[in-house]
Amino acid sequence: MDEFPQIFNIILGDMTLVGTRPEVAKYVNEYTPEMYATLLLPAGLTSRTSIAYKDEDKLLKHAEDADKVYVEEVLPAKMKYNLESLRKFGIKSDMSVLWDTFVSVMK
C-alpha cells in the first residue's frame, strides 16, 4: 500500500508499472560502465529486482557496514536483474513481472 501514491505518477506518465527502481546518487556513482545501461529503463513501480529484494532491509539490518555490503554485494546482484530486464524488455516480460509481483505481495 505504501506504493499506492505512485499510481498518480504512472497516470501522469512519469513512471511505468514495470521498470527499474532508481538508486540514490551515491550508489549510481558506484556503477560499472555496464550498469549505466539500466538508466535507460523507465522508472517503474515494480521489477524482477523489486520482487527479489523486497526484504532488502532484512539483509542489511545486521551488517556492520550496510553501505559497503550494499555496494559490494546487493547492488551488483540487483544490477544483474536490471540488465537482464533490459535484454528482455517487452510486454510479455512485463506481464510476467506484474503477475509475479502480485503473487509475491499476496504471500
CA distance 2 to 15: 16
Contacts of 62 (CB under 8 A, 6+ apart): none
pLDDT number for residue 33: 93
Tell me the C-alpha to C-alpha distance, in Å, between residue 42 and each of 8, 17, 47, 55, 57: 15, 9, 11, 23, 24
3-state secondary structure at position 54 = coil
Angle at 52 between CA 60 and CA 17, to 5 degrees: 120
pLDDT number for residue 32: 92
Averaged over successive runs of 10 residues, the pLDDT of the chain (107 residues) comes to: 79 90 90 90 89 88 90 92 88 94 90
pLDDT number for residue 1: 58
